[in-house]
Structure 1
């Protein structure tokens, strides 16, 4: 396993090198070896897997079958088998996985009732007796009916997504990686490391506006709600229907763009490279920004004056999201902070909770990028591993949701839309990319969507049409619009829908995950590697690729 881990580490470093703005000759040489390293890794994985066959893979492609034939087994429920990392350390093969139906029932019972339920469910037997007192049996019957109803709803939802069809359209225009996307009405707005913000007309898949003005890579975008746009539009003598977009850049500026005229109407200088931002729709409105040095700042939407500056994190702030008066910030070192907006002209943000990487169980890893998606008292965290974390931000309890059945998978972004939790997934070993869909609030696996030669997905936005169909946009190497097609009829979709049976029963929930979470992803050299190359690789990882956002600052 030593050589496998070493190859996985090298591939992680190469993937991070590829998205840097400028490359040295040594880095270009490393990138040129990617195909060779992947081929060697595939050989080793097949040797380790032996004659074992993959469990429950449904879908097209020999590549998918090869991909799953690895020794790195997924983690299962704690009551059934040890974590995959412990299985690997002991050198044992994984036992048969827990049946998906049992795992689903346990998940639902924990989410809704807070306790685990036995598979046999003895409660219905009690209510079948027609004795005088039925008060003890009635809750069990209601619970049984609720579980059956939810199971039927989930089965129907899963069946509909197994028939899903999407038409993909490539939006061409950026000449560097797309780092951020937002959707406004029938428009998609994208920001890129090429320093531009582009506006796209979705129905025609054409470039609508090219907003040039930043001198550094664009790292983040946000769209204020219409009512806040109205106030600014009136002050600028523009139409009440005007929409504005906020863009943050490595040039230390936040710019406000009027979409109809394609011009920057206001800008503010932050004195720090802006790596994340969000709009807080409370009172007069606030812009909250995060910097490459870990600073969180609040700005008045009305005056654009700085209201607060806090040295909140030790490394670059890679994600800021708002939920009502709450603001969530995540940083490259793995820490997550929760703030409450007190709607004040001075120091509006009050820190409610801060959870370090050690508490959350993320550590500082090769990806070095945390992406957040809050939901009630939980926040979903993507952090460049094969899992999604769910953080109960009030208590610090965490749970893990498998987003890839191999430890070579990495999660770059997470998003919620229309009762769905969507996580992007990229396999370092073979370069395959996909979106995994989970139902909310139970977080049960529905299906995976992919297409031939799909690029790594670094950012995501979603909305629904008037008819209720999904429209998505994904960014990374390519900017792609996804348009959902009717599941019936003869229309052929561009995407492939597949289900990985191993992900049905790979949901692991544990209150307060330990360092074991990361054992399969901490790749350490055994000392027999070329010292010069390893030194350069580690240096590049620590300085340049600890966060892919940092590459815009070099």
Structure 2
């Protein structure tokens, strides 16, 4: 049993090493042993194989009754009429009718959505050109822009899957990309006497530079030296516009889009800033030690960022030291956190309440990134034990499992971008060891897709959990068992979300 855990730990360490921007000879040697360790782990797991424990709800008679009702429960939790009355000041009869409406509406909506994804077909196209892992991707108009550990930024023409431009200039690995909105691109283009249709891309690198690239002419029009390795960045489209950068030392900095001068430098985190996301005037920063900060942009010339909340790793439950990698995906009052575990954590950033969504049926699973597009939550899923990779789809805002997408020899997915066509079809791009464009095909068409749609029964059995109310045990073969309890706090928050998402009154 102990050797299994040691091998799983070593494989997880190797996977973390593989995505570092630079590697030492000793680290490269450790990575070279991955196949050997996987083979040994498979042998041990075969020897220790036993009937797997099923996921479910255990407890007294009331809890068992809830288990039988689970298919009719939104968010996997029982909605109490009395609690709804307390939150809304409605009468019991009115609250009961609303609950019936919610259950009926959401179940019908979810069933239809799940059915459509079971029939989904995608064509995959490999974009070849990088000679090292792809660390970041963004989509702009009809092009995809990728950054790599090979120090280059490449622009790809999606309809032809061809390399359009190779933007060289960084002297170390590219770690992050961001695309300013068209109206801010127009302002910069005017100041540079370029076409008002010019689009710009920001790239950050371990060489301490942020570079601004004009995609039309394929040139770097501005370089900003930050004095620290840039590990994350985002653009805030408020006021005159701001570039927000994060460093390997935990520093968050703001730069004016108008003057490109530094407006603010804050020692915000203890370890490297691994993710920066903007949502309106808000900026979310996540770090290797697992902390999350929420900032408000005051649109001032000096010190534009005001700290609203700071949630440490003790609250988020994330982080693994200097080599940790926390990725954020905010939506409203919730932030989805991917930190290389078998689940997605959900931070309610105003209150600090945490929830958890299972994204893998084994503890050897890794979640590198999460992305929200429309009513869909997409989580990457990779098993360090056998190397299998997939994308798991969940409905929003319910966070209910829909389906898993995979294909033969699927690589580990480290970054993700998405957009929709005029007809509503999905276009995705995934990066990692390979850069791949996903093109959704008509479900009723004759053309065969390259992706297999699977249903993971373990994920279907897992409900959205309030972390304060869940006890987790890790079995020696890497499977989960869960004990669920109903929390008054969780229920109150759930019903508040219901009323915010659906204005029934």
The reply to whether residue 107 of structure 1 matches residue 75 of structure 2 is yes
TM-score by length of 1: 0.80
Aligned to 1:18: 18
| Contact 2:76 2:464 (C-alpha < 8 Å) held by counterparts | no
| Contact 1:254 1:269 (C-alpha < 8 Å) held by counterparts | yes
Question: Helix, strand or coil: the match of 1:401?
Answer: strand
Q: How far off is 1:140 after superposition?
A: 1.2
Q: Following the alignment from structure 1 to structure 2, what is the Cα–Cα distance between the partners of residues 381 and 150?
A: 25
* Runs of at least 5 residues in structure 1 that lack an aligned partner in the other structure: 53-70, 82-95, 118-133, 524-554
Q: Following the alignment from structure 2 to structure 1, what is the Cα–Cα distance between the partners of residues 382 and 460?
A: 19
| Contact 1:111 1:442 (C-alpha < 8 Å) held by counterparts | no
Write out per-residue CA displacement over residues 158-212 of structure 1, whole angstroms, 9 at most, x where no aligned residue.
Answer: 0110111000000000011100000001000000111110000000000011111
Aligned to 1:261: 217
Q: How far off is 1:138 after superposition?
A: 3.8
Q: Following the alignment from structure 1 to structure 2, what is the Cα–Cα distance between the partners of residues 115 and 47?
A: 50
Aligned to 2:336: 380
Q: Following the alignment from structure 1 to structure 2, what is the Cα–Cα distance between the partners of residues 196 and 247?
A: 10
Question: Helix, strand or coil: the match of 1:137?
Answer: helix
The reply to whether residue 424 of structure 1 matches residue 380 of structure 2 is yes
Q: Mapping of 1:329-368 within 5 angstroms? A: 329-364=285-320, 368=324
| Contact 2:55 2:458 (C-alpha < 8 Å) held by counterparts | no
Number of aligned pairs? 471
| Contact 1:182 1:189 (C-alpha < 8 Å) held by counterparts | yes
Relative to structure 1, is the Cα distance of residues 520 and 213 closer, same or farther in structure 2, using a 3 angstrom cutoff? farther
Write out per-residue CA displacement over residues 491-521 of structure 1, whole angstroms, 9 at most, x where no aligned residue.
Answer: 100001001011112124225478x669789
The reply to whether residue 464 of structure 1 matches residue 420 of structure 2 is yes
Q: Following the alignment from structure 2 to structure 1, what is the Cα–Cα distance between the partners of residues 34 and 467?
A: 38
Aligned Cα root-mean-square deviation (Å): 2.8
Q: Mapping of 1:27-38 within 5 angstroms? A: 27-38=27-38
Q: How far off is 1:46 after superposition?
A: 3.1
Q: Following the alignment from structure 1 to structure 2, what is the Cα–Cα distance between the partners of residues 100 and 43?
A: 38
Write out per-residue CA displacement over residues 212-271 of structure 1, whole angstroms, 9 at most, x where no aligned residue.
Answer: 111111100000001111111111111111110001111111111110000011121111
Relative to structure 1, is the Cα distance of residues 28 and 373 closer, same or farther in structure 2, using a 3 angstrom cutoff? closer
Q: Mapping of 1:83-482 within 5 angstroms? A: 102=70, 105-107=73-75, 136-364=92-320, 368-482=324-438
Q: Following the alignment from structure 1 to structure 2, what is the Cα–Cα distance between the partners of residues 380 and 34?
A: 30
**Most deviating of 1-10 and 30-39:** 30-39
Q: Following the alignment from structure 1 to structure 2, what is the Cα–Cα distance between the partners of residues 408 and 203?
A: 37
Question: Helix, strand or coil: the match of 2:408?
Answer: coil
Question: Helix, strand or coil: the match of 1:200?
Answer: strand
Question: Helix, strand or coil: the match of 1:368?
Answer: coil
The higher-RCO structure (CA 8 Å, 6+ apart) is 1
| Contact 1:177 1:478 (C-alpha < 8 Å) held by counterparts | yes
Q: Following the alignment from structure 2 to structure 1, what is the Cα–Cα distance between the partners of residues 430 and 410?
A: 11
Q: Following the alignment from structure 1 to structure 2, what is the Cα–Cα distance between the partners of residues 250 and 111?
A: 49
| Contact 2:213 2:222 (C-alpha < 8 Å) held by counterparts | yes
Q: Following the alignment from structure 2 to structure 1, what is the Cα–Cα distance between the partners of residues 432 and 256?
A: 31
Q: Following the alignment from structure 1 to structure 2, what is the Cα–Cα distance between the partners of residues 203 and 364?
A: 40
| Contact 1:161 1:447 (C-alpha < 8 Å) held by counterparts | yes
Question: Helix, strand or coil: the match of 2:227?
Answer: coil
Structure 1 residue aligned with 2:443, among 467, 478, 487?
A: 487
Q: Following the alignment from structure 2 to structure 1, what is the Cα–Cα distance between the partners of residues 228 and 77?
A: 47
* Runs of at least 5 residues in structure 2 that lack an aligned partner in the other structure: 479-505
